[in-house]
Amino acid sequence: MARRRTIFRMLAIQRVLVRFGLDDIIKETHLWRPLRFLFYLAPRRRDGSAPLGERIRLALEELGPIFVKFGQAISTRRDLLPPDIADELAKLQDAVPPFPAEQAIGIVEAAYGESVGTVFERFDDEPLAAASIAQVHTAKLKAGIEVIVKVLRPGVEEQIERDLAVLRMLAGLAERYWEHGKRLKPLEVVEEYEHTILDELDLMREAANTAQLKRNFEGSDMLYVPEVYWDYCRPEVLVQERIYGTPIGDMDTLREAGTNIQLLAENGVEIFFTQVFRHNFFHADMHPGNIFVIHTDPERPKYAAVDFGIVGTLSPEDQRYLAENFLAFFDRDYRRIAKLHLDSGWVPPGTRIDRLESAVRTVCDPIFSKPLAEIPFAQVLVRLFRVAQRFDVEIQPQMILLHKTLFNIEGLGRQLYPQLDLWKTAHPVLKRWMDEQLGGRAMLRDVRDNLPQLRDALRELPAILHHLGEQAAEGRIRFNVQSPELEDIRRQLGEQRRQRYWLTASATSVVGGALVVTLGSLPWLGWTLLGAGALAAWVARP
């Protein structure tokens, strides 16, 4: 039954594409290609003369949250999209069609068990913003504090589960039949994405993420994170401080206010690297709809971020690996990059380092030290994909969120300040982090962190030494070392002792028997000894 629903959903997706005149996508789709003529029987809601960008946006909105999020992600990449399509997809950032206010109020009242009039001084019916997962209403607490109330969309979980089933099915087919399926790990990628988007459906988790980021940037002059009002938060309702600022995409207003755009861009790079490496907790949904600028002091503008439903973390090993790769790139040490890929297991063990080094240099050298505006990102991506394919580089699902965030950050940087020297801005941040991880301060920090365990061990040391001393005096100390290698050595020594014993017995018997036979006395004894010697020699064989 579940598989049948998945197939029907795939058919419905292609039907929506036809209705909006996106026929080329179906023509390029291998699945269901033999049946695509059936979809042309479906009536179109819009004719093909409507702008392509508008038809793509409307199709993504109708297909649901996962497709809207895809549109949001690529909307920041104006270097990869025609301007008209980029403009339309940008509307997906905070202008998705809202659901009725009556439904929002019903969800809020069900969560609190009382009317909105009892909980809030004011609750505005008109939504401030609507997105794929939830929509936002403004309100005022009884204490007089202006807040936003974020409410999950009705039925959003069922929509997402339905489309995740489609993604799992397609990933399974790709992994089984596609030549690059094993290397790109589509099933693991979908599983990683599933965890991410399902976590986003719990607004209590988003509240906790917001509170953690606020603690991380407490007192920062670069980023402001709103206050969470925990008493009003529920899994389907989030209440937090209302932010007043200019959307990051409104460049005209920022320029008219005399905002220091260069400082803003440089601070954005530092915020990102600080989140990833110093805090190991980064905002992973940084499209323009979630970023505002507070420019009351235009010379020292400050970011304000919202919507922390998706955050990312890395293991210490992945952190170190990424930092070393970035620093090797900044130093143009392409051999180091190749060796890091080999050591991490991201490329097959037999890969020639010199060949991988040459391929990496070919991609990276032309873009080194160039401002964002001069980097042909589309060409770089194509070259990187070719290198990955040639050297069987395996995809790392745990890095998907970071790749998505980097994709958004680089796109935002191009819009904000195309002259930004990303390498010059990021290098000192990474260098400082590596010094902190490997320098003297890191050693002192490790000692400090392990001080409680060290103190407990020192406290127990005198009793342990006293006990060992008593056992040594009484001859009761025994060492029991278990090791496969030691067991092999022990067996070999035992075999050698056995062989020596029987060879000695054999030689003694043979010599004694020969003497007895030669002397002519008791010949039967001599031949018995010779036979015993032969038998002993046979037993002594390896």
Closest by CA position to 245, among listed 299, 305, 308, 309: 305
The answer to whether 500 and 508 have CB atoms below 8 angstroms apart is no
Residue 148's DSSP bridge partners are: 138, 240
Determine the Cα–Cα distance for residues 180 and 84; give it in Å rounded to an integer.
34
Residue appearing with tokens 């990869």: 80
- Give the 3-state secondary structure of 209-265: HHHHHHHHCCCCCCEECCCECHHHCECCEEEEECCCCEECCCHHHHHHCCCCHHHHH
Angle, helices 52-63/65-75, rounded to nearest 10 degrees: 140
**For residue 195, what are the contacts with CB-CB under 8 A and spacing of at least 6?**
none
- If one counts every other C-beta atom within 10 angstroms of the C-beta of residue 132, the result is 24
DSSP state of 275: I
Determine the Cα–Cα distance for residues 170 and 13; give it in Å rounded to an integer.
13
Determine the Cα–Cα distance for residues 513 and 532; give it in Å rounded to an integer.
9
Specify the 3-state DSSP secondary structure of 369: coil
Would you give the distance in Å from CA 264 to the centre of its chain?
A: 26
The answer to whether 285 is a known catalytic residue is yes
Ramachandran sector of residue 133 (left: φ over 0; alpha: ψ -120 to 50; beta: rest): alpha
- If one counts every other C-beta atom within 10 angstroms of the C-beta of residue 390, the result is 11
The answer to whether 137 and 128 have CB atoms below 8 angstroms apart is yes
The answer to whether 55 and 23 have CB atoms below 8 angstroms apart is no
The answer to whether 103 and 124 have CB atoms below 8 angstroms apart is no
- Give the 3-state secondary structure of 19-74: HCCCHHHHHCCCCCHHHHHHHCCCCCCCCCCCCHHHHHHHHHHHHCHHHHHHHHHH
* Maximum Cα–Cα distance across the chain: 128
The answer to whether 356 and 347 have CB atoms below 8 angstroms apart is yes
Please tell me which residue in 285, 354, 421, 488 is annotated as part of the active site.
285
Determine the Cα–Cα distance for residues 336 and 338; give it in Å rounded to an integer.
5
Specify the 3-state DSSP secondary structure of 385: helix
Task: Label the pairing between strands 282-283 and 291-294.
Answer: unpaired
- Annotated catalytic residues are 285
